């Protein structure tokens, strides 16, 4: 595999907005999804070995959403993310080594060890530090869109959030304001059925978040979030419309998180049958099966091996990287340090 550990952000092999992607492009989508899946699985193992501080909210099962949406974005477009940002970060092109090192709390991490798992991000690839306040991105993203318009760029911003966040006032205020201002924004709601332990049906009489778009005069669309090509197709249209001044659009991507809400969640609030049903729709298995119709098995296997090698490299990089210096904690609160000399 190439030594470039950055996941290429969209260099579309075909026009966004069409379901048809050529085999090479399909393979690239598969590779990115697998990278996220294996990233999460391997991160969990090293977490259990005590190599990663803090907590983890993982993305297994939802890979088609991040990869399908980010595939139709340019590097200059921006995304906002949540407490569950690993997949979004890798899909938007945050450097794999830097993402891994950030989880390890190392100086070489994409936030210098200040952010950690819940705040992955990198302005140079168009990703704000992930916002771990549920609904936090839904209002901030309107400012990104407003700035793009005021600066006469054709950039687009995508706000990722969960169905749980759609019950925050911020979701409603952000969507309404974006609507009335026709901002170039795609609101991408990942409906994985649960907010922590709470099923969505206990918290909303409207089962589809997309239906809420009507209340704000916005187009809302339900998408199979377990099918990367369907996600890519819908996101392609939404992003193109937003770029053309017909935004915002609310996409609801029906998906499922295969892991617990955070580490240590034994998932007592949902049935193993339900989990098995959704695992039967595994987005990575689905695209691999499709690709196997046209690509030789050893091409796919080589891709798998490449992903593993990239992760070996990233973990080794994170392990070998230096810790931040203790005094680095005191910089970056302001552009120039204004706080008084610390007390002992």
Q: What does the binding site for other proteins look like in residue numbers (CB under 8 A)?
A: 53-55, 105-106, 109, 113-119, 131-136, 164-165, 167-169, 195-199, 202-204, 265, 267-270, 323-330, 332-333, 339-340, 342-344
State the minimum distance, in angstroms, from the CB of residue 164 to Mg ion. 5
C-alpha–C-alpha distance, residues 205 and 218, integer Å:
20
In the list Mg ion, other proteins, ligand TPP, none, the entry touching 167 (Cβ below 5 to 8 angstroms by class) is: other proteins
| Distance in Å, CB of 31 to other proteins, minimum | 29
Helix locations, 131-207, DSSP H: 136-150, 169-180
Q: How far apart are CA 31 and CA 25, in angstroms?
A: 10
Nearer to other proteins, 270 or 279 (CB): 270
226 binds, among ligand TPP, Mg ion, other proteins, none (CB under 5 to 8 A by kind): none
Tokens of 10: 């969209």
The DSSP element (H or E) to which 284 belongs, if any, is: helix 283-292
Q: How far is the CB of 134 from ligand TPP (least distance, A)?
A: 4
Q: Which does 49 bind (CB under 5 to 8 A by kind): Mg ion, other proteins, ligand TPP, none?
A: none
Q: Which does 297 bind (CB under 5 to 8 A by kind): ligand TPP, other proteins, Mg ion, none?
A: none
CB of 300 to other proteins, least distance (A): 37
**Is residue 62 part of the contact set for Mg ion (CB under 5 A)?**
no
Phi, psi of 246 (to 5 degrees): -105, 25
Q: Which is nearer to other proteins, 297 or 327 (CB)?
A: 327
Minimum gap (Å) between residue 88 Cβ and Mg ion: 14
Length of the chain: 344
| Residue 56 binding partner per list Mg ion, other proteins, ligand TPP, none, with a CB distance cut-off of 5 to 8 Å that depends on partner kind | none
Residue nearest to ligand TPP (CB): 162
- Please say which residue, 192 or 303, places its beta carbon nearer to Mg ion: 192
In whole angstroms, how close is the CB of 271 to other proteins at the nearest point? 9
- Taking the C-alpha atoms of residue 130 and residue 153, their distance in angstroms, rounded to an integer, is 23
308: phi then psi, degrees, rounded to nearest 5: -65, -40
Q: Buried b / exposed e across 130-150, counting CB within 10 Å, b at 16+?
A: bbbebbbbbbbbbebbbebbe
Pairing of strands 157-162, 198-199: unpaired
Which among 36-44, 61-69, 158-166, 320-328 is the span making contact with Mg ion, rule CB under 5 A?
158-166
**In the complex, what is the shortest distance from the CB of residue 136 to ligand TPP, in angstroms, rounded to a whole number?**
7
129 interacts with Mg ion by CB under 5 A: no
Least CB distance to ligand TPP at residue 261 (A): 6
Q: How many CB atoms lie within 10 A of CB 282?
A: 20
Nearer to other proteins, 55 or 294 (CB): 55
Rounded Cα distance between 65 and 261, Å, is 17
Distances from the Cα of 301 to the Cα of 39, 87, 124, 230, angstroms: 17, 22, 32, 24
Cis peptide before 271 (omega within 30 of 0): no
Report the partner that residue 84 touches, choosing among other proteins, Mg ion, ligand TPP, none (CB closer than 5 to 8 A by kind).
ligand TPP
Subset of 162-191 contacting Mg ion (CB under 5 A):
162-164
Q: Report helix, strand or coil for 342.
A: coil
Q: 164 near 134, Cβ under 8 Å? A: yes
Q: Which 3 state secondary structure label does DSSP give 333? A: coil
Q: Which residues bind ligand TPP (CB under 6 A)?
A: 83-84, 132-134, 162-165, 192, 194-196, 261
Task: Supply the minimum distance, in Å, between the C-beta of residue 71 and Mg ion.
Answer: 22
Whose Cβ is closer to ligand TPP: residue 16's or residue 164's? Answer: 164
Q: Which of 95, 112, 62, 2 shows the shortest CA–CA distance to 261?
A: 62
Token pair recorded at residue 4? 């470039």
Binding residues for Mg ion, rule: CB under 5 A, are: 162-164, 192, 195
């Amino acid at each position: 595999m190439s030594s470039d550990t950055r996941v290429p952000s969209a260099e579309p092999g075909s026009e966004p907005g069409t379901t048809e992607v050529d085999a090479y492009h399909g393979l690239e989508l598969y590779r990115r999804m697998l990278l996220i899946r294996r990233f999460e699985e391997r991160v969990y193992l090293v977490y259990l070995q005590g190599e990663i501080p803090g907590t983890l909210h993982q993305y297994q099962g939802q890979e088609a959403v991040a990869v399908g949406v980010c595939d139709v974005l340019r590097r200059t477009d921006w995304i906002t993310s949540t407490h569950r940002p690993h997949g979004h970060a890798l899909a938007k092109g945050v450097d794999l080594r830097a993402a891994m090192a950030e989880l390890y709390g190392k100086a070489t991490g994409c936030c210098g060890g200040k952010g950690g798992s819940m705040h992955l991000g990198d302005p140079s690839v168009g990703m704000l530090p992930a916002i771990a306040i549920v609904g936090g991105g839904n209002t901030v993203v309107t400012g990104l869109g407003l700035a793009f318009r005021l600066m006469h760029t054709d950039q687009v911003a995508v706000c990722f959030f969960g169905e749980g966040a759609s019950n925050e006032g911020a979701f409603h205020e952000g969507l309404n304001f974006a609507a009335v201002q026709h901002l170039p924004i795609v609101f991408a709601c990942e409906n994985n059925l649960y907010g922590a332990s709470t099923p969505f049906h206990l918290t909303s009489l409207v089962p589809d978040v997309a239906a809420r778009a009507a209340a704000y005069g916005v187009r809302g669309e339900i998408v199979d979030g377990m099918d990367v090509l369907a996600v890519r197709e819908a996101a392609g249209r939404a992003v193109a419309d937003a770029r053309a001044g017909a935004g915002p659009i609310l996409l609801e991507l029906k998906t499922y998180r295969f892991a617990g809400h955070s580490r240590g969640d034994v998932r007592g609030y949902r049935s193993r049958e339900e989990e098995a049903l959704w695992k039967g729709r595994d987005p990575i298995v689905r695209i691999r099966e499709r690709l196997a119709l046209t690509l030789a098995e050893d091409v796919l296997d080589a891709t798998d091996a490449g992903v593993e090698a990239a992760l070996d490299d990233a973990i080794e990089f994170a392990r070998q990287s230096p810790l931040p210096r203790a005094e680095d904690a005191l910089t970056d609160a302001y552009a120039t340090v204004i706080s008084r000399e610390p007390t002992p």
